Amino acid sequence: MLKPLLASLLTCSVALPAMAATPDANQVQARDIFSHLIAFKTEIGQGQVPVMANYLADQFRAAGFPDADIHIIPHGETAAMVVRYRGNGTGGKPIALMAHMDVVTAKPEDWQRDPFKLIEEDGYFYGRGTEDIKSGVTVLAANFIQLKKAGFVPTRDLIIVYTGDEETSQDTMDDLVKNHRDLVDAEFALNTDAGGGVLGEDGKPLVFGLQTAEKAYADFELTTRNPGGHSSEPRQDNAIYELADALKKVQAYQFPVMWNDTTLAQFKAEGATREGKVGQAMRDFANNPHDAAAIGVLSTEYAEVGKTRTTCVATMLHGGHADNALPQSATANINCRIFPGVAIDTVRKTLQDVVGSKVDVTLVGKAIASDPSPLRPDVVAAVTKAVHAIRPGVNVTPEQESGATDGIYFRAAGIPTYGVNGMFMKDSDSFAHGLNERVPVKGFYDDVTYWHVLLTTLAGPGKSK
């Protein structure tokens, strides 16, 4: 249950005017940066992340940031970037601000428009990374540049942390936390890659989610083995059939229902804006997470089931070695999104119990988990003020991410992290990782304003030089 102070902050109203329809000079400058960033093909294997980082470094230098506060850290074909905005030291430890420069691969032949050209059409900006998350890269850079040129001096250091492989290995964030902690250490972090505002299909704002927790990402490989042999002499034991049996067991298994203060508050807030059986189930679950009927409804909703439990699903298959030979092995990848507070190895052991001793279950690569970040009254109040600057009166509620972001590394390293993306969007407009990715033009310009309010609230009042 939220403490009374936090509950009051979540429902407070700040009387600030909505943004004017015509973009101002700062928003126009942000659009120019956005256009340049979309043009960089920062997919895996393209080697364009360092090129994009150098472009950004030039923009920061032109705004007056010294070279000593601009760091590009190479990492294979990609890179990370850290930019420090020096404060006067009166406001405490720094605040870290997060986004990632890389994007998911986009095949131009599959798109209706060039994915690497910012195209404005019918009230939307189209292009790979418009939503995930070059818009976040842009609004952070644009606000640093605008505030610096205006002579704003924050009360504490502000640190932009741009990573270069969030969509793949997340090695750049891992490296920053382990080997460059002095560059990124902060009292807390604000992540552009999580949280955000929800618009109804009628365009009216419903709620703003302040992400305080996210599920851990882990891949497990199921492997069955067999001596094999000639396909004309089939055996009763067959590696592919045994793997198929194991996969059906995984499909049928459901991890225990779980909840925390964040998910209960999230369901309560979202349930108040939803009609029908799903909205009722959200409200019922928030009131009683043991409600079997509510659990049953939420478990059938693909967008909601991840908020109620750990989930594991088959994503890749491989088996056999020749058309005319019995398979000597078969493997399947099981992708799990693990509820905060559950150990990675606990999930592995559960899968092993589910599939039985004839199947090997092994962790693939690395996996990292983190506990939820505690709600901070100063962060909640500042986010609420910034939200109301663009969408007056909208409720701000904590939420848990079913996916995973670089924020999990900061949380695991002891830096509380909050997903506070300022974009408001309809669910039907979200095409991140998919074809024809887009964001509302108004949502982008509002996001620039939102971050200006958020930064100057948390690191102000500043003063002019």
Tell me: do 361 and 395 sit in the same domain.
no
Asked, for residue 292, whether it belongs to a domain, the answer is no
Q: How confident is the model at residue 461 (pLDDT cuts 50, 70, 90)?
A: confident
Structural domain ending residue among the three candidates 320, 339, 368 = 368
**Do residues 406 and 262 both lie within one domain?**
no
Return the pLDDT at 404: 86
**Nearest-CA neighbor of 171 among 50, 77, 98?**
77
Residues 93 and 221 in one domain: no
Does one domain contain both 429 and 333?
A: no
Q: Are residues 177 and 136 both part of a single domain? A: yes
Tokens 């609004």 belong to residue: 139
Residues 210, 254, single domain; the answer is no
- Does 111 lie in the same domain as 55? yes
Domain annotation covers residue 296? no
Say if residue 22's pLDDT is above 90: no
| pLDDT tens track for 43-56 | 999 999 999 999 99
Q: Output Rg (C-alpha) for the chain, integer angstroms.
A: 24
* φ/ψ of residue 439, rounded to 5: -135, 155
CB 337 within 8 A of CB 403: yes
Number of folded domains that form the chain: 2
Same domain for 22 and 163, yes or no, is: yes
Query: Any idea which of 8-17, 88-97, 212-221, 318-327 has the lowest mean pLDDT?
Result: 8-17
Does 381 share its domain with 337? Answer: no
The chain-wide mean pLDDT, for the chain, equals 93
Closest among 454, 410, 440, 444 to 98, alpha carbons compared? 410
Q: Is residue 16 scored above 50 in pLDDT?
A: no
356: left (phi over 0), alpha (psi -120 to 50) or beta: left
Listed residues 346, 368, 390: the one ending a domain: 368
For residue 13, is pLDDT > 60? no
> Could you say which of 313, 348, 368 is where a domain stops?
368
**Is the domain of 316 the same as that of 179?**
no
Q: Does any domain span residue 391?
A: yes
Is the full-model pTM beyond 0.75?
yes
Taking the C-alpha atoms of residue 400 and residue 271, their distance in angstroms, rounded to an integer, is 15
Q: Are 113 and 186 part of one and the same domain?
A: yes
Range of the domain at 232: 216-271+303-368
In DSSP notation, 189-246 reads EEETTS-EEEE-TTS-EEEEEEEEEE-EEEEEEEEEE---EETTS--S--HHHHHHHH
User: What's the average model confidence in pLDDT over 181-208?
Assistant: 97
Instruction: Tell me if 294 is assigned to some domain.
Output: no
Model confidence at 330: pLDDT above 80: yes
170 with 242, same domain: the answer is no
Q: List, edge to edge, every strand of the sheet that includes 311-319.
A: 311-319, 329-338, 216-225, 360-368
Residue 215: pLDDT band by 50, 70, 90 thresholds?
very high
